[in-house]
Amino acid sequence: MYQGKAIISWDQLHRDCRMLAHEIIKLDRKWDGIIAVTRGGMIPAAILARELGIRLVDSISVKTYSHQNISEPVVLNDVSATEDGDKFLLIDDLVDTGKTAKFVRERLPKAHFATVYAKPEGKPLVDTFITEFEQDNWIYFPWDLDLDYAKPISKHADE
């Protein structure tokens, strides 16, 4: 299913979230708050809250993934800050197939939906994003990774 991979570092994610903040500022709107799509949207939402000076951060928990298996969306925790998303930023790390995006978009139709990263299938469902990846790339976020020793390439390197 996935042919390639992209590894996002903490530094890259932070830079991309700040770029997303610049794009959102260009909209010249007053926001009542941010709604993070958990879990992936939580860290981008925290960075955006800081950069945009937004204090109210809520969340909606939707499960659609179990590693690389995609299933039907299930709400684990619903948003409480707004009924339809009006004057709220809806933030996620990535829009992939669009299954989660479509689901939260239907629940919060007036929210401005922004993701840091987008893939072609889900891209039409978001209002703002920073970087597009190929549909068949698996994105590894910094919270998915662990630092570990890498053996040298040459068999003679440890001699």
Residue 100 tokens, joined: 């989660």
Closest C-alpha to 77, from 35, 116, 126, 111: 35
Q: Which of 93, 127, 136, 146 is catalytic?
A: 93
Q: Is 11 a catalytic residue?
A: no
| DSSP calls for 39-99 | TTTHHHHHHHHHHHT---EEEEEEEEEETTEEEEEEEEE---S-SS-TTEEEEEEEESSSH
Q: Largest Cα–Cα distance in the chain?
A: 65
Neighbours of 31 (CB within 10 A): 18
* 92 included as an active-site residue: yes
Beta strand pairing status for 69-77 and 57-66? Answer: antiparallel
- Annotated catalytic residue, options 86, 96, 136, 146: 96
**Out of 16, 92, 148, 158, which one is annotated catalytic?**
92
Helices (H) and strands (E) in the chain, counts: 3, 8
78 part of the active site: no
Q: CA 152 to CA 149: how far, in whole Å?
A: 9
Active site residues: 92-93, 96
